[in-house]
Amino acid sequence: MTMVALAVVLVLAGLGVGAYLVGHSGGEDLAAAREAGTSAGLKAGEHRGENRGYERGFEEARAASFSHAYAEAFRDEYAKAFRRIGVPPPLHVNVPDVQSDATSG
Amino acid sequence: MPRLRPWLIVAAAVAVAVVVAGGYLLGASTAPDEHDAHAERVDAQRVAFKQGYAKGYDRGLESGRDAGAAAGGREGAPKGAEDGHATAQKTIKRALVVTKPSSPARQSGGGAASGPPLPGSGGVLVVGDSLEELTSPFLQKYLPQTQLTINAVGGYNSLQIYQLFQESYDPSQSVIVFDAGTNDNPAYPEILAGRLQAVAQQIGARCMVVPTIHGLSVNGVDSSGKNRVVRNFAASRPGTQTPDWANVVATHPELMQPDNLHPVPAGADYRARLIARGVKACLRGGSSSGAGFGE
């Protein structure tokens, strides 16, 4: 009698666990959701980051390069103007502080 | 085989049904739903966005710098050349305008001219320290027709005054008043000597006015060494004018403030007159002896 009762309990437990697993497996696929989120996040992040980085790098480099090129050309042309009329140019030329006025692009 | 009782079969069937239904419902209730999937997707997206942003930012920064450097160079060079040309032309034009009317006068000179014409357009650059700050307001009175450029800062030594000279020197100037040395340590007159030589090298044949120095003694060392430097420099460079301010102070102590370093207004006026005499002598192409004046 005891053996029969034990067998019945075991069968019922097996059925319960099986039913639980079937019920649990019917939900949303989290791994797929995670993968989709990662892929979308990477793409959006790279796009945004690249744009921001480009803007920043462009502005910085353009300002520095503008000042350098401006000063060099200013001194060069200033000295040339004096040489053209046969006057030795000054050793020190004051270059005005001119900033690039164009907007980023 | 014992015969199964009907109620036992029904009880077993009910038990099986309850266990299966309960297990299924329990399992279904803990299964991830749409909300969980959305949260998982959003979390993963946020983390990945940061990683992607950092990666993309570096790449963008690099390409932005390349493009920015090229664009800056393209914009800066022509604008710098244009401005440099215009500024130089303005300076040259100003020099020519001033030179034209003054040239005949210099040639006829009233008998005063004794040397070759000075380079530049007759402008005068005055650089100096606090003494020059006090003196310069009177200078224009004694040099009314002269284009003066004054750059003086109180407390400056000869090295710093040399920097003022570099800031303000322009080839259109014909005379440089280098009013320096009062704030130099008298134990090291060679510093003043070096700056005088540096100015002389830059200005070519232009005339210099270098007043002698009345400074404070430091550790028992007075300004004799610095004044020797001034006189030796003047002697080695014909045309240099040395208004003898040190002698004026020695003979007219009433012209000085109680600190015995700065002149009172009458002293500043006197000093301006001395320096103006030096400038005029330069512009006349006068005394090339380098001898000082100031009585």
CATH of the domain at B144: 3.40.50.1110
Mean pLDDT of A65-77: 93
> Does residue B106 register a pLDDT over 70?
no
Residues of chain B found within 8 Å of residue A30, distances taken between Cβ atoms: 32, 36-37, 40
Rg of chain B (C-alpha set): 43
Mean pLDDT of B67-76: 93
pLDDT of residue B292: 52
Instruction: Confirm whether B103 is domain-assigned.
Output: no
Task: Give me the number of domains chain B comprises.
Answer: 1
Residues of chain A with pLDDT > 70: what percent? 90
All residues at 6 or more sequence positions from A6 whose CB lies less than 8 Å from its CB, including other chains: none
Instruction: Confirm whether B171 is domain-assigned.
Output: yes
Residues of chain B with pLDDT > 70: what percent? 87
> Does residue B6 register a pLDDT over 70?
yes
Q: Is A49's CB within 8 Å of B52's CB?
A: yes
> Does residue B214 register a pLDDT over 80?
yes
Instruction: Confirm whether B278 is domain-assigned.
Output: yes
> Does residue A103 register a pLDDT over 50?
no
Mean pLDDT of B196-215: 94
pLDDT (tens digit per residue) in B267-277: 999 999 999 99
> Does residue B105 register a pLDDT over 50?
no
Instruction: Confirm whether B158 is domain-assigned.
Output: yes
Q: How confident is the model at residue B131 (pLDDT cuts 50, 70, 90)?
A: very high
Comparing B103 with A81, the larger pLDDT belongs to: A81
Taking CB atoms and an 8 Å cut-off, how many pairs form between chains A and B?
296
Specify which of A33-37, B1-5, B141-145 reaches the highest per-range mean pLDDT: A33-37
Residues of chain B found within 8 Å of residue A17, distances taken between Cβ atoms: 23
Comparing A18 with B101, the larger pLDDT belongs to: A18
> Does residue A35 register a pLDDT over 80?
yes
Q: Is A30's CB within 8 Å of B37's CB?
A: yes
Q: Is B31's CB within 8 Å of A64's CB?
A: no
Burial of B245 (0-12, 13-18, 19+ CB in 10 A): buried
Residues of chain A found within 8 Å of residue B164, distances taken between Cβ atoms: none
Comparing A100 with B246, the larger pLDDT belongs to: B246
Taking CA–CA distances from A29, the nearest residue in chain B reads B37
Instruction: Confirm whether B68 is domain-assigned.
Output: no
> Does residue B113 register a pLDDT over 50?
no
Task: Give the structural domain span for B143.
Answer: 117-293
Instruction: Confirm whether B203 is domain-assigned.
Output: yes
Taking CA–CA distances from A48, the nearest residue in chain B reads B53
Instruction: Confirm whether B194 is domain-assigned.
Output: yes
Average pLDDT, chain B: 86
Instruction: Confirm whether B199 is domain-assigned.
Output: yes
> Does residue B187 register a pLDDT over 60?
yes
ipTM above 0.95, yes or no: no
Considering only CB atoms, B64 lies closest to which of A37, A58, A72, namely: A58
